[in-house]
Amino acid sequence: MPSSIQVRPFRRGDRDQLTQLVNAHVAAVMPGVSVSVHTVLSQLERQPGEFITDPWVSDRVTLVAEQGGRVQAAAHLLRYYADDRAGEHYRDLGELRWFLFWPQAPSGNPWWPDGGPAAGALMNRCLAQLDGWGVSRRGADGDLPAPGVYGLPAQWPHVRAAYERAGFTHTGGTEAIYLARIAGLARPASPPRPGVTVSRTVGMNGTRLSAVAGPDVLGYIEVEEFADGEPRLRQGSWAEIGNLRVAPGFRRQGLGRWLLGQAAAWLDLAGVSRLLDYAPAPGPGPASTEPTSTGSADQDAAAYRSFLAATGFTELTRTARGWDLD
């Protein structure tokens, strides 16, 4: 390790450089999105939005690799309780929540060295931290405090290479992340079946818009706006689809497209300009077991991806979830 590289705990004075590093990685995945220093610092302390898994965390450690006064690499690690204070699948897990570094140096600039050696030194320290915790399982992710940035997106080949060099393997699923302009979403003028109306209620993952015919609910969509001001969005406000489900007997009849149009009209009234969605995608490892807007696990993911493409969504990336170190 070059003597000029110092791996140490994060200090508050690193906050601006750390935020710059985080936003560089966010920008490669999500157009027009950045997060504030406050948002980054908040994630280092806790994640209020993760109301299920965050209370299971017993320890948090943030490390940086500094070289020549510059934060070249940074990592955030979590340790979960080893007893029933944590869910079964998280129990006694040590996790690299994210690991970031500058992959390239400007040609001929002696004051900005390549970040590879610093990343290697930081990874060694991270592995030592996991060993020091004595956890029974070690995992990794790339979950940043920005919409749609989790797992290892295809735009981070340098991070993936660092994980693989350290011995991590991709054991989880792959997901496609989609983005649409609200103004560009299909909006059928009438429901696909006579007598169908829309009902708006409180849903589990946002506002629920249901297609109802008398006492029957034929399907529903849930959409949730991102909290005002965080993350910073240069293109209006954003929302995501939390659920989109159509009852089995009513699929492939235009009901999903009509529900999406109802959601678009509702979000348009709120001034929302972009809508995110997610779908399982082909990739190494088993199919994703995480909840997605596709509804049930046996729903045809390929058909859903085709549905998104046909209704105005653009695929931004595919991200590899679930990394384990034996």
List pLDDT tens digits, range 289-321. Answer: 443 444 444 358 999 999 999 999 999 999 999
Query: So where are the chain's domains?
Result: 5-166, 178-324
**Pair 166, 109: CB distance under 8 Å:** no
Assign domain 5-166 to a CATH class.
alpha beta
Question: What local confidence, expressed as pLDDT, does residue 228 receive?
Answer: 55
Tokens 């009901």: give the residue: 255
Look at residue 33 and give its three-state secondary structure: strand
- Identify any residues that bridge with 145 across adjacent strands, giving them in sequence order: none
Which CATH homologous superfamily contains domain 178-324?
Gcn5-related N-acetyltransferase (GNAT) (3.40.630.30)
Q: What is the pTM of this model?
A: 0.89
Q: Which residues contact 33 (CB under 8 A, 6 or more apart)?
A: 26, 27, 146, 147, 231, 232, 233, 234, 238
Percentage of residues of the chain with pLDDT beyond 90? 76
Domains 5-166 and 178-324 share a fold: yes
Q: What is the pLDDT of residue 7?
A: 98
The Cα–Cα gap between 305 and 17 comes to 37
Decide: 82 and 91 in contact? Cβ < 8 Å: yes
The CA distances from residue 124 to 63, 99, 182, in Å, are 11, 12, 45
Closest C-alpha to 2, from 97, 87, 109, 114: 114
CA dihedral 160, 161, 162, 168 (to 10 degrees): 70
Token duo for residue 189: 């003028």
Q: Tell me the per-residue pLDDT of 48-58, one tens digit each, with 9 for 90 and over.
A: 778 889 999 99
pLDDT tens for 224-242 read 998 755 566 656 689 999 9
Output 240 or 47, whichever has higher pLDDT.
Answer: 240
Please name the helix (run of DSSP H) or strand (run of DSSP E) that holds residue 94, with its range, or none: strand 93-101
